[in-house]
Structure 1
Amino acid sequence: MAFAQNDASRPTEAPLRKIIADLQQGAPDTGSMEPELGSAVQAQAAAIAGLLQSLGRVQQLEFAGTENGTDIYEVTFERGAASWRIRMAPTGKIAGLLFKPVAAPETRGDDVAMDGLSGTLLKPRDVEHPPVVLLIGGSGPTDRNGNQGGTGPGELRQLAEQLAEKGIASLRYDKRAVGRSAVAGLREEDFVLNSFVDDAVTWLDWLRRRPDLGPRIIAGHSEGGVIALLAAKRTSVAGIVLLATPGRKLGDVIREQLQGFRMDAALQSEASTILATLERGELVPNVSPALHALFRPSIQRYMISELAIDPVTEIKTLTLPVMIVSGGHDLQISSADADALSAERPDAICLTISGMNHVLKMAPADRASQQDAYSNPNLPLAPGLSDAIANFVQQSAR
């Protein structure tokens, strides 16, 4: 891999060039890192490789400054950019490494802001008072398009654009502390599930005050569906669409997903113990580095708040129209989840697309073959998905 050269090379530049190249190949040199960092990077190597591969080859690497002993670089890739931070230990090994892709500006729709949040309002042409769908992203640091780290499948952007072609407006937004909704001083420790429910309700109230828009519908993807269920209890909406939404408590979903991870027996046991402790509402201060991505102490208050929610209990209290969408090749949410939700709302519109995966794209059934679907924004949405959602929205808005 060829890298652009800087005139004034710094001691951190060569290690950063190498680690980017290694990460893109999914083979980080953990021996060049301090042990705790190496363990954490190794645990996330596959996910990082998919993200970096979607950005393409490195075009330029520029030193941008130093902050608290950490060097900051701006790196331009073929299909995006990212800010990288690297800190070296006295041993000469890498002690700190962090990167954050820079989201590209939206080319369609209006940028809107509210209460520190940033979103995109996309309206159809030549339609007065169109119904409007609030699109809520899934778990983690998810932006308005359904991506994490500024790049990914872009399924929410695709859905918004297809709905606009069918006469339906939409608002999608960066989650609080993500993308252009980042607010200085916010920490992971500050969030619980209700923080994001509050944001959804605030956006719905903002939409209600828009004289150019019609009835409001919520569409939540994955964890966003749980947020949508809770938000619908607090404000009046015309309908709700649940996209690949769990029909079980989060603890049951995580246990099933852990079984699919390649993890030694000791880590599996630790993960099970941590999860059971969090379900009791208790924090776990000490977590192995390999499990930090899932159970790091800074997100445990959030997990405790969500572990207490049962989507089946929440859906049975709603009387508004409901649509439940599931995919036959979803590796994160099973058909049993959709069945559990529909059992409580037998009047719901149910759509199952046999070859659709969790990010609403057509993909093979096996995990290894789905990587491209999770990182390629050029793959189209599953056929028939936006048509079915548009029909439900139009019916509900009458």
Structure 2
Amino acid sequence: MLPHLAAAVLSLTSVTAAPCLVPAADREIVFTAEGASTYGTLHVPAHRAGQRLPAALLLPGSGPTDRDGNQPHASPNTLTHVAAALGEDRVVTLRFDKYGTGRTGLGAYQDHPERLDYPAFVRQARAAYASLRDQPETDRHALTVVGHSEGALTALLLGAEVRPRGLALLQPQAIRLLDLVALQLHAQIAEAARQGQLTPEQQRAIDTAIDAAVAALREHRPVDAAGLPPAVAHLFAGFQGPNSRFVDSDDAVYPPDAAAALRPGTRVLLTCGTNDAQVPCATTDALTAALRRAQAGGPGRVRLPGVDHLLHDAGHPDTPAPAVLDALHRFAGR
């Protein structure tokens, strides 16, 4: 073969053998949880055809928070932003509408909403994890779970079952549910007293009523709302009736105990924002210690200066703060 012809053949071979680049894209995912359909969004970063990528399951916070991290009257797009950040690190993400939100609705509990308890959300997350694991772009040996707020507690419980490579617990619910609610309410009452809206005597009376309400819920007694401000009384009323099964089962979980079941060496990122009024950094102390005892890997707890519960800071009121993005990128291995 002539030299110039051989070079041309080699050049042609290298061009035709080059893998095709698949552009980044979102696609709708439907998977089955407890016999009903759950709907979600799979974000796949740009990649070579046939390539398997690391992947992360994203779990939303409490209440009617949908796959994007939004509620009916608030659209911070928390999980959409997390998916975009991880996508920059070429991580596939799956986020889904948990029970009571989005296209999923109440799913298997449509006809019996009073039966919906917290373990049902963990089971739904387990089904989502299996769906993510089985996607053609997913490297099933490089799976992580990322949860925000209550979703971080779900991630912790799920992690003990499915044993992923890593967990990212973003502003996690790190103490029992009703203890956290009481902490938040006491802080709000203290602030009202500081501003002169309540007298010290009124503050003490309301604090006592809050603690009595928590005790009543835990003892499955009706809450006496007589000493509570209307908004607080309404909150505790919502914890009873059809929602009591969920509240009772969530409150039964002590997150530091859940950490003990993790596989030693599991990489864990735990973030806490110094401006987070919903989950103050101090509430994560016991969980951080439990993760160390469980021999979890780093990076461990990362304090985020000036960051609030929705991952924002003063300079970034609508998008994740740079400190949040840096923690996510380091966790993803950038």
Partner residue of 1:333 out of 274, 279, 283: 279
Q: Does 1:163 align with 2:113?
A: no
TM-score (norm 1): 0.64
Distance 2:113 2:105 in 1: 12
> Contact (CA 8 Å) 2:89, 2:332: kept in 1 or not?
no
- RMSD over aligned CA atoms reads 2.6
Q: Does 1:304 align with 2:252?
A: no
User: Following TM superposition, by how much is the alpha carbon of 1:187 offset from its aligned partner in structure 2, in angstroms?
Assistant: 5.2
Partner of 1:48: none
Partner residue of 1:121 out of 28, 42, 60: 42
Partner of 1:229: 156
> Contact (CA 8 Å) 1:324, 1:348: kept in 2 or not?
no
Partner of 2:309: 358
Which has a greater percent of helix? Answer: 2
Partner residue of 2:166 out of 209, 223, 239: 239
> Contact (CA 8 Å) 1:220, 1:226: kept in 2 or not?
yes
Q: Does 1:348 align with 2:273?
A: no
> Contact (CA 8 Å) 1:329, 1:363: kept in 2 or not?
no
Partner of 1:142: 65
Q: 1:287 to 1:223 in 2, by over 3 A?
A: same
Q: Does 1:194 align with 2:123?
A: no
Describe the superposition over 1:65-93 as per-residue Cα deviations: whole angstroms up to 9, x where unpaired: xxxxxxxxxxxxxxxxxxxxxxxxxxxxx
> Contact (CA 8 Å) 1:328, 1:353: kept in 2 or not?
yes
> Contact (CA 8 Å) 2:122, 2:154: kept in 1 or not?
yes
Partner of 2:28: 111
Partner of 1:284: 222
Q: 1:129 to 1:390 in 2, by over 3 A?
A: farther
Q: Secondary structure at the match of 1:384?
A: helix
Distance 1:329 1:188 in 2: 35
Distance 1:129 1:283 in 2: 53
Describe the superposition over 1:115-165 as per-residue Cα deviations: whole angstroms up to 9, x where unpaired: 221111001102521111111011101101111116421111011012112
Q: 1:249 to 1:340 in 2, by over 3 A?
A: same
Determine which structure has greater relative contact order: mean sequence separation of CA pairs < 8 Å that are 6+ residues apart, divided by chain length: 2
> Contact (CA 8 Å) 1:137, 1:156: kept in 2 or not?
yes
Q: 1:253 to 1:126 in 2, by over 3 A?
A: same
Q: Secondary structure at the match of 1:330?
A: coil
Distance 2:254 2:224 in 1: 27
Distance 1:183 1:333 in 2: 27
Distance 1:258 1:285 in 2: 16
Distance 1:334 1:286 in 2: 28
Q: 1:306 to 1:182 in 2, by over 3 A?
A: same
Distance 1:246 1:162 in 2: 22
User: Following TM superposition, by how much is the alpha carbon of 1:109 offset from its aligned partner in structure 2, in angstroms?
Assistant: 1.1
Distance 2:283 2:267 in 1: 18
The number of residue pairs the alignment matches comes to: 276
AA aligned to 2:116 is: F
User: Following TM superposition, by how much is the alpha carbon of 1:178 offset from its aligned partner in structure 2, in angstroms?
Assistant: 0.7
TM-score (norm 2): 0.75
Task: After superposing the two structures, state which structure 1 stretch, 184-193 or 165-174, moved more.
Answer: 184-193
> Contact (CA 8 Å) 1:119, 1:144: kept in 2 or not?
yes
User: Following TM superposition, by how much is the alpha carbon of 1:302 offset from its aligned partner in structure 2, in angstroms?
Assistant: 0.8
Q: Does 1:249 align with 2:176?
A: yes
Describe the superposition over 1:318-349 as per-residue Cα deviations: whole angstroms up to 9, x where unpaired: 12221111111000111112332221223431
> Contact (CA 8 Å) 1:129, 1:212: kept in 2 or not?
yes
Partner of 1:389: 328
Distance 2:129 2:302 in 1: 25
> Contact (CA 8 Å) 1:168, 1:390: kept in 2 or not?
no
Q: 1:274 to 1:217 in 2, by over 3 A?
A: same
Larger Cα Rg: Structure 1 or Structure 2? 2
AA aligned to 1:176 is: Y
AA aligned to 2:165 is: A
Q: Does 1:182 align with 2:105?
A: yes
> Contact (CA 8 Å) 2:216, 2:223: kept in 1 or not?
no
Q: Identity of paired residues, percent?
A: 29
> Contact (CA 8 Å) 1:239, 1:393: kept in 2 or not?
no
AA aligned to 1:126 is: H
User: Following TM superposition, by how much is the alpha carbon of 1:260 offset from its aligned partner in structure 2, in angstroms?
Assistant: 2.8
Describe the superposition over 1:283-314 as per-residue Cα deviations: whole angstroms up to 9, x where unpaired: 53776874233442221111111111111111
User: Following TM superposition, by how much is the alpha carbon of 1:279 offset from its aligned partner in structure 2, in angstroms?
Assistant: 2.2
Distance 1:113 1:161 in 2: 21
Q: Does 1:293 align with 2:235?
A: yes
Distance 1:336 1:151 in 2: 27
Question: Structure 2, unaligned stretches of length 5 or more?
Answer: 1-23, 193-201
Q: 1:311 to 1:348 in 2, by over 3 A?
A: farther
